[in-house]
Amino acid sequence: MPSTDLWSGVKNILRSRISADDFEVWFAPLGARSVADRLTLVAPSRVYADYIRDHYLPVLQDCAAQAAGHAVAVTLDIAGDTLQAPPPTHRGAPLNPRYTFAAFVPGPSNQFARAAAQSVAENPGRAYNPLFLYGGSGLGKTHLLHAIGNEILARNPRSRVRYVPTENFVNELINSIRLQRMAAFREAYRSIHMLLLDDVHILAGKERTQEEFFHTFNALHEAGHQIVLTSDTSPAAIQGLEERLRTRFVWGLVADIQPPDLETKCAIIREKSHTEGVDLADDVVLFIARRVRENVRELEGYLNRVIVYCTLTGQPATLETVRNALTPLLPEERHATPADIIRFVAHHYGVKVADLKGRDNRRSVAFPRQVAIYLIREILSVSYPEIGKLFAKHHSTVMYSVETITEERRSNPSLDATLTTFIEHFR
Ligand code: ADP
Ligand code: MG
């Protein structure tokens, strides 16, 4: 099949598997070459290539196999330079060399899990066994798991660390049963030094797998070999998990990861943009951080899009450019205008729109006006002079309003809660 046909076939299948936005951002700009059973995608930059390799290689391989009717090796190319998938050094899935402790940005939301992971990497089998990490999707569980593995291998490259997505464990088990290779399966698992099992919540309801894992767990634990597990919920909340496994999951240490707060999101954005060789101004960092709800994966998607957009258009990453870059990912924001916000605030405080825009400086009007100004800045990132025009005020007055409300929000929890609801409403 000629390359363009194979690639359009792959794209058609891919479209049905991932969101339209992701498709637009990541796959529309790719070129393709193909010979025989190899498909080479040509990415416009390293950011693109890395991101696709880290996030989409398996699904691309799958789609390519489906489109071609046989296995196809998918590789990525940038400027004539071919990136190979890292060779698997151990049985099990490869560790991502970029998921290290050094690259993991600490914050109050993750410091417990991070410290626990670090002490396990320093004292495997002795600190806490098992270590059970849980938290919502995209919060860094897999990253920490790889960080432990990378750290162990850095100290001792011969250590038998095995990173296994639970899905692989399930599939290997099914295959081993089918091919009557259970003895080999057990032997393979029991001879390893450290088992990093990702997403154990998917064991829910899989009785046969749980049974087998129970024995694997016991064998490793008795031998003093470290087990680290991740899950999207706590052990208690995994439905359809055998009691004896649940008990074992809490033998060592259970540590949770919470969604990052705003400061941590900003720190992650700074760290990641710095790694990409891009330095973003503080207002830009804040703009991106505020748009991310609670997921670091989403944050990376936004940031990558900003970097790619600025690279492709040759524009500097100003607030304006960044807003344009992210507009397609922020569908609701396009609908809100300053006028909407002014109307909303006027209604909430029971004052007239004309009064908000007028000269009356009594607190009953001046305060809602400051709130409206603050929200327009906060939600739409409109510049101070532009906001000034809307209210017929000097831009220094606008800045003062924003500062006043920012201060008050800090000291007044009920105002803070109200404004949070307003902001959610418009985002
Ligand atoms: P999970 O396994 O919890 O769903 P991941 O570990 O896959 O999440 O994290 C999603 C992405 O966010 C990864 O690219 C990871 O490197 C990044 N990430 C998450 N938390 C942090 C952090 N604290 N510092 C730096 N990167 C992070
Ligand atoms: Mg994960």
Is pTM beyond 0.85? Reply is no
Q: Could you identify the atom of ligand 1 that is nearest to the CA of residue 110?
A: 23
Kindly report the protein residue whose alpha carbon is nearest to atom 4 of ligand 1: 138
Q: Which ligand is nearest to the CA of 111?
A: 1
Q: Are residues 243 and 149 both part of a single domain?
A: yes
Torsions phi, psi for 278 (to 5 deg)? -120, 130
Distance (Å) from CA 381 to ligand 2 centroid? 33
Characterize the bridge pairing of strands 73-78 and 81-83: antiparallel
Is residue 103 domain-resident?
A: no
Distance 351 CA to ligand 2 centre (A): 49
Looking up residue 169, the CATH number of its domain turns out to be 3.40.50.300
Ligand 1 pocket mutation pick from 98, 296, 298, 302 by most atoms within 8 angstroms of CB: 296
Question: Beta strand 31-35 with 38-42: parallel, antiparallel or unpaired?
Answer: antiparallel
**What six digits make up the tokens of 220?**
């490793």
* Amino acid identity for residue 165 in this structure: P
**Interval 92-121 mean pLDDT:** 94
The pick from 96, 118, 139 for probing ligand 1's pocket by mutation, whose C-beta has the most ligand atoms within 8 angstroms, reads 139
Tell me the CATH number at 307: 1.10.8.60
Bridge partners (DSSP) of residue 357 are none
- State the average pLDDT over residues 331-336: 60
> Is the same domain home to 122 and 232?
yes
Lowest mean pLDDT among 25-39, 165-179, 203-217, 242-256: 25-39
Element (H, E) at 159: none
Task: Please report, to the nearest 10 degrees, the dihedral formed by the alpha carbons of residues 120, 122, 124, 127 taken in order.
Answer: -60
Domain count, the chain: 4
Rounded to whole angstroms, the Cα distance separating 269 from 309 reads 16
Best residue among 100, 297, 304 to mutate for probing ligand 1, ranked by most atoms within 8 Å of CB: 297
CATH number of 38's domain: 3.30.300.180
Report the run of H or E that residue 131 belongs to, with start and end.
strand 131-135
Q: Is residue 106 part of a domain?
A: no
Q: Give me the amino acid identity at 332.
A: E
Check whether residue 147 and residue 179 sit in a common domain: yes
Chain length of the chain: 427
Q: Is 110 in the pocket of ligand 1 (CB under 6 A)?
A: yes
Pick the last residue of a domain from 277, 301, 326.
326
- pLDDT at residue 361, rounded to an integer: 92
Quick: pLDDT tens for 266-276. 999 999 999 88
Note whether 150 and 196 are same-domain residues: yes
Q: How far is CA 394 from CA 325, 357, 404, in A?
A: 30, 13, 16
Tell me, yes or no, whether 321 and 344 share the same domain. Answer: no
Q: Which residues surround ligand 2, an ion (CB under 5 A)?
A: 141-142
Residue 141 Cβ inside 6 Å of ligand 1? The answer reads: yes
Q: Is 138 in the pocket of ligand 1 (CB under 6 A)?
A: yes
Structural domain contains residue 399: yes
- Burial grade of 127 (CB within 10 A; 0-12, 13-18, 19 or more): middle
Of 193, 202, 150, nearest in space to 173 by CA: 202
Contact 88, 245 (CB under 8 A): no
pLDDT digits (tens, 9 = 90+) for 125-139: 998 999 999 999 999
**Is the minimum distance from the CB of 388 to ligand 1 under 6 angstroms?**
no
Atom number, ligand 1, closest to the C-alpha of residue 296? 12
Cα of 104 to ligand 1 centre, how many Å? 8
Residue 88 lies in a domain: no
* Pair (160, 119) in one structural domain: yes
Cα dihedral 110/115/116/122 (nearest 10): 150
Split at pLDDT 50, 70, 90, the class of 85 is very low
Q: Enumerate the H helices of 314-337 as residue ranges.
A: 319-326
Instruction: Please indicate, yes or no, if residue 206 is contained in any of the structural domains.
Output: yes
Q: Does residue 89 fall inside a structural domain?
A: no
Q: Is 300 in the pocket of ligand 1 (CB under 6 A)?
A: yes
pLDDT band, very low/low/confident/very high, at 70 (cuts 50, 70, 90):
confident
Whether 160 and 133 map to the same domain: the answer is yes
pLDDT band at 6 (very low <50, low <70, confident <90, very high): confident
Distance CA 308, CA 304 (A): 6
Strands 31-35 and 81-83: unpaired
369 CB within 6 A, ligand 1: no
Instruction: Tell me which amino acid residue 38 is.
Output: R
Q: Tell whether ligand 1 has an atom less than 6 A from the beta carbon of residue 297.
A: yes
Ligand 1 contact, 196 CB (< 6 A): no
Q: Are 218 and 311 in the same domain?
A: no
Q: Is the pLDDT of residue 90 over 70?
A: no
Q: Which ligand is nearest the CA of 103, by number?
A: 1
What is the per-residue pLDDT across 233-256, written as a single tens digit (0 to 9) for each?
A: 999 999 999 999 999 999 999 999
Residue nearest to atom 14 of ligand 1 (CA): 297
Between these two residues, 424 and 39, which has the higher pLDDT value? 39
CATH of the domain at 357: 1.10.1750.10
> What is the per-residue DSSP string for 342-411?
HHHHHHHHT--HHHHTSS--SHHHHHHHHHHHHHHHHHH---HHHHHHHHT--HHHHHHHHHHHHHHHHH
Lowest mean pLDDT among 75-79, 203-207, 343-347, 361-365: 75-79
Residue with tokens 């992701």: 22
- Say if residue 242 is in the same domain as residue 124: yes
209, pLDDT greater than 50: yes
pLDDT-above-70 percentage for the chain: 93
**Cα angle, residue 137 at apex, residues 135 and 142 outer, rounded to 5°:** 80
- Of 212, 229, 257, the residue at which a domain comes to its end is 257
Tell which one of 143, 198, 266 to mutate to probe ligand 1, the residue whose CB is within 8 A of the most ligand atoms.
Answer: 143
d(CA 328, CA 397): 32
In a domain, 101, yes or no: no
Rounded distance between C-alpha atoms, residue 263 and residue 169, angstroms? 37
Owning domain of residue 170: 111-257
Residue 147 within a domain = yes
Same domain, 185 and 246: yes
Last residue of a domain, one of 196, 225, 257: 257
Instruction: Report d(CA 281, CA 284) in Å as an integer.
Output: 5
Span from the CA of 234 to the centroid of ligand 2 (angstroms): 15
**pLDDT band, residue 225 (cuts 50/70/90):** very high
Assess whether 279 and 253 both reside in one domain: no
Evaluate: CB of 231 within 6 angstroms of ligand 1.
Answer: no
Q: Are residues 209 and 234 in the same domain?
A: yes
How confident is the model at residue 2, as a pLDDT? 58
